[in-house]
């Protein structure tokens, strides 16, 4: 039986599966805008970081570059969450605890994912990671941050 070989330094895709990066890219930042400039600017940075990560998942890319970008995105998200929680505290946002707990869970899940692919990267992880992060960012902005934006704008 032929043995399947996974590269440890270069990203490979399954031979018959076409990598379609456009499926995993986030839409332009204006699509995610919630109307609070400081938050929108951070979301734009996160969107760019995610899209750059998707590009780094191209066939034949350097796996260490991809790992570096993934860790960088998590760090960027962590800084954004701290800033967003500061805005919530300053405004007396009633859902601060719930929102903060969701931030903490997002970071934990992303770190777990990053750790698991640091130890073993399968070809299928390319799409799994891109899908996970896209859902992670879109879902949180639409469900939690938009609600926060409405609260902050109503108080402005």
Binding site for Fe ion (CB under 5 A): 84, 144-145
Q: In the chain, which ranges are continuous DSSP H helix? A: 29-32, 37-56, 63-91, 96-119, 125-140, 146-155
For residue 43, the minimal CB distance to Fe ion (Å) is: 6
φ/ψ of 92, rounded to 5, equals: 65, 40
For residue 118, the minimal CB distance to Fe ion (Å) is: 25
Q: Environment class of residue 22 by beta-carbon count within 10 Å: exposed (0-12), middle (13-18) or buried (19+)? A: exposed
For residue 102, the minimal CB distance to Fe ion (Å) is: 7
Pick 96 or 144: Cβ nearer Fe ion:
144
Pick 84 or 125: Cβ nearer Fe ion:
84
CB 6 within 8 A of CB 123: yes
Pick 125 or 145: Cβ nearer Fe ion:
145
For residue 42, the minimal CB distance to Fe ion (Å) is: 6
Residue nearest to Fe ion (CB): 145
């Amino acid at each position: 039986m032929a043995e399947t070989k996974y590269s440890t330094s270069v990203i490979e895709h399954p031979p018959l599966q076409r990598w379609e990066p456009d499926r995993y890219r986030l839409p332009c930042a204006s699509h995610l805008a919630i109307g609070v400039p400081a938050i929108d600017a951070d979301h734009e940075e996160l969107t760019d970081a995610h899209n750059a990560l998707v590009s780094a998942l191209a066939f034949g890319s350097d796996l260490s570059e991809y790992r570096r970008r993934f860790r960088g995105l998590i760090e960027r998200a962590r800084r954004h969450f701290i800033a967003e929680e500061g805005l919530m505290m300053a405004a007396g946002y009633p859902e601060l605890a719930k929102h903060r707990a969701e931030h903490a869970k997002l970071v934990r899940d992303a770190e777990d994912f990053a750790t698991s692919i640091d130890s073993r990267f399968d070809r299928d992880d390319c799409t799994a990671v891109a899908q996970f992060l896209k859902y992670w960012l879109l879902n949180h902005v639409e469900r939690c941050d938009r609600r926060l934006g409405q609260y902050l704008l109503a108080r402005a």
